[in-house]
Structure 1
Amino acid sequence: MKIKFHHMILALLIATTGCKKDNYDAPSLKLTGKLVYKGEAIGVEYNQVPYELYQPGFGKVGPISQTFSQDGAYSSLLFKGNYKFTIPPNQGPFMWKEIAAGKRDSIAVALTGDQTMDIEVTPFYMIRNANLTAASGKVNATFSIEKVITDANAKDIERVSLYINKTQFVSGGDNIAVTDLAGSAITSLSNITMSANIPGISPTQNYVFARVGVKIAGVEDMIFSPLVKLTY
């Protein structure tokens, strides 16, 4: 009987230990911020530009992978600890520092509580002074484009697009109307005008959302002007 009783105690201890091991608290510390260039937010396409967080020495080899919102914001729930933040190759309408050929640089994050950390990048272009209005069944846009990278890494503009949508998600994949302007047709980056017709919307609404995007040659992701809601 003693042997059986000892076996029961041992089994109970193993089961209790196993439950404690499995029942970790969920991550609760927030790491938030946004993509910026000299403090100015960078707009991208929703859920298309990824970032990665690594926790060295924690036994997890792969990254924690998530994506930026269309206003360039990000938010991750994490455990307390040290992390490395990076953006994978060929992602985003900007350059990310490399410490060697093909080896991406990373930002060290020591997380002890909720933390805000903006991610400074160097975009190929920035959209400046975007003014979008709605009148007479159209969305009209005037803006300038600044070429930020001008060295050997510089790239041409493939096209500029004015997107309209009935919801706040606005991009090449989310729109009800778009007008494109080829990069070769742009004669001056300092004064660009575009317009797009507002189509019929069902159910009817008296507003749309709009923004301008720049497609860079050889770069998958576009950079966007701030989102605006236009009543008409």
Structure 2
Amino acid sequence: MKNKIFVLICFVLGIGCASCDTDNYEAPQSKLEGRIVYNGEPIHLGYNEVNMQLWEPGWQLRAPIDVAVDQDGSYSAVLFNATYKLNIRSAQGPFRSIQNSTTQSDTIMVDLKGNQVLDIEVMPYYMIRNTQIASSARDITANFKLERIITDANAKNVERVSLYINKTTFVDRGNNIASKDLSGANIIDLNSINLSATVPAITPAQNYVFARVGVKIAGVEDMLYSAIQKIQL
């Protein structure tokens, strides 16, 4: 009887130790970070609109790791050291992916061994240039120009341009307290576009807002934006 009890105790302790071993796997510690860029210049995006996917070849679950791209075009992920396939799905972003010279596709191979910085070059349809945003009392005015980057058969027209204003640093078509649109058909000169909007009453009161302009490209879901600016009222 004592032997049976001893065996049972050992069995229970063995399960407990195995559980501890299972729970004590090391967490991922290597950081992969960088930006979505055009010629080294960051592509500014809407909040939580664009995601990248990381695939670990040979992993039996075959589920991608989704990595969100921030408003300033930056991304960051903490991962295990491994070789990953990185890509941005074709329907994501106001840009086209550039063929990678190694994979001969839009997939980028990432051999992660410790922290790594990787900027991802893309080809945007347009770039927003010379953005100037100013205030007069509660009226916000923006002036900017659009540079057409893709000019071949893949070129697309501008559906509209917009000025967005918000009381926090999250500023886009889904996060704003005031906005102003101008249709692409009504843009007279891409080199000088003007938009203005009035800031409504804010509760609790604050003497500043955040603003930026955006471009909706025809046939492309995700918008292109300028950098976010803090504007004193």
> Is TM more than 0.5 here?
yes
- Cα gap change, 1:86 to 1:155, in 2 (>3 Å): same
1:157 & 1:86 partners in 2: Cα distance? 26
Instruction: Tell me the residue number matched to 1:114.
Output: 115
Give deviations 1:180-201, integer Å, cap 9, x for gaps: 0000001211111111111111
Instruction: Tell me the residue number matched to 1:196.
Output: 197
1:113 & 1:76 partners in 2: Cα distance? 12
TM-score, length basis structure 1: 0.92
2:29 & 2:13 partners in 1: Cα distance? 31
- Offset at residue 75 of structure 1 (A): 0.8
Instruction: Tell me the residue number matched to 2:225.
Output: 224
Instruction: Tell me the residue number matched to 1:41.
Output: 42
2:37 maps to 1:31: no
1:141 & 1:89 partners in 2: Cα distance? 31
Which residue identity does 1:217 align to in structure 2? Answer: A
Which residue identity does 1:134 align to in structure 2? Answer: S
Regions of 4+ moved over 3 Å: 1-15
- Offset at residue 18 of structure 1 (A): 4.1
1:115 & 1:10 partners in 2: Cα distance? 45
CA RMSD, aligned part only? Answer: 1.9
Q: Which runs of 5+ in 2 are unaligned?
A: none
Q: Is the 8 A contact 1:131 1:142 kept in 2?
A: yes
2:98 & 2:72 partners in 1: Cα distance? 22
- Offset at residue 60 of structure 1 (A): 3.3
- Offset at residue 13 of structure 1 (A): 3.6
**Paired-residue identity, %:** 49
2:215 maps to 1:214: yes
Which residue identity does 1:85 align to in structure 2? Answer: L
Q: Is the 8 A contact 2:90 2:96 kept in 1?
A: no
Give 3-state SS (helix, strand or coil) of 1:121's partner.
Answer: strand
TM-score, length basis structure 2: 0.91
- Offset at residue 62 of structure 1 (A): 0.7
Give 3-state SS (helix, strand or coil) of 2:22's partner.
Answer: helix
Query: Within 5 A, what are the aligned runs for 1:144-223?
Result: 144-223=145-224
Instruction: Tell me the residue number matched to 2:67.
Output: 66
2:205 & 2:22 partners in 1: Cα distance? 55
